[in-house]
Amino acid sequence: MSSSKITVSPAAIAEIVRHVLERRAGSVVTGEAPYLLFHSPRAEALKAEIVSAGRKLWERQYVDGNGGNISARLSAEYVLCTPTMLSKADLRAEDLSLVDLENRQIVGNRPQTSEIRLHLEIYKAVPQAQAVIHCHPPYATAHAVAGVVPQGNLVPEQEVFIGPVVLAPYETPGTTEFAQTVLPTVRQHNTILLANHGIVCWADTVTHAEWYAEVIETYCKTVMIASQLKSPLPEIPPNKVDELLAIKKRLGLPDARIPFEGEADEAEAGASSSGHEDIESLVAAVTAEVLRYLEGAG
């Protein structure tokens, strides 16, 4: 009896997989397929972005030893994060872990960062947050240690991308109390000084969160140098600040000076978009596995 090779087009397989997942979308991202999600094309792209950001932080001396941590929201329930006890200079994609919003490690060979609770509190409080970075850039951290909030309205880039700086009170890193120190301000501030510790930034992408770390560090350094030349420092005129805030509003960036409208609609849209991306990532991953199996069977 002769055997014939099974031939099914990738498009047909993908359509079958998509149909099944869409019918069961409510359960796909709540525990049925975290392993597939962790190895989906979207997850692999996020892992590469996290590794790249970690290297940039280390090269800029924003982290030392095993300091700092990075995470990215992979779905409504799951988050990718860096491990504990590993230099960001040595970070590889296979070192990352998948955790849920209750800090349970779902996939990964290395334990998650001990400060992931800080990230998770931000994700739960801010639907727009898709990535979080915590690090220790020297000038910004110096302000956090001294308990000094830098003067505002001095540099356009700071006002547009970050805005007024706030300082969260000190708590022991890694604890729930530490994670919750940012909750009073994190919805209207994407970058926060952490007293006696460092900074935390959230954004729509890992890359943008790393940019904010660069912006706040450069700003704190500039203010320190400028203050040696003149004090008090002359600020941008109020009407020109308003123009910067108009730019910021168009970009959709948070600021305590801008009334935030349509939060519920944005959260719902974000959840819908995230669910769609989860399904499409799983479709691609499952289709690839089915094709590999059929090729082997043939």
Q: What CATH number is associated with residue 175?
A: 3.40.225.10
Q: Three-state DSSP class for 172?
A: coil
- Domain hosting residue 173, numbered range: 41-267
With respect to residue 34, please indicate whether it lies within any of the assigned structural domains.
no
CA angle 208, 210, 213 (to 5 degrees): 115
Tell me, what's the pLDDT at 32?
45
With respect to residue 235, please indicate whether it lies within any of the assigned structural domains.
yes
Residue in 130, 150, 128, 129 with CA at minimum distance from that of residue 139: 150
Tell me, what's the pLDDT at 259?
85
With respect to residue 13, please indicate whether it lies within any of the assigned structural domains.
no
Give the residue, 27 or 86, on which the prediction is more confident. 86
Tell me, what's the pLDDT at 271?
46
What total number of domains does the chain contain?
A: 1
Confidence (pTM): 0.81
With respect to residue 88, please indicate whether it lies within any of the assigned structural domains.
yes
Q: How far apart are CA 217 and CA 141, in angstroms?
A: 8
The beta-carbon contacts of 256-259 under 8 Å, at least 24 apart in sequence, are 256/163, 256/164, 256/185, 256/188, 256/189, 257/163, 257/164
Q: How many CB atoms are closer than 10 A to CB 227?
A: 13
The set of residues, in sequence order, having a beta carbon less than 8 Å from that of 7 and lying 6+ positions away, is none
- Per-residue pLDDT for 178 more than 60? yes
With respect to residue 215, please indicate whether it lies within any of the assigned structural domains.
yes
Structure confidence by residue, pLDDT tens digits, 102-118: 999 999 999 999 999 99
Structure confidence by residue, pLDDT tens digits, 46-69: 999 999 999 999 999 999 999 999
With respect to residue 117, please indicate whether it lies within any of the assigned structural domains.
yes
Structure confidence by residue, pLDDT tens digits, 218-243: 999 999 999 999 999 999 999 999 99
With respect to residue 257, please indicate whether it lies within any of the assigned structural domains.
yes
Tell me, what's the pLDDT at 33?
80
Structure confidence by residue, pLDDT tens digits, 281-295: 666 666 666 666 666
With respect to residue 128, please indicate whether it lies within any of the assigned structural domains.
yes
191 forms beta bridges with: 201
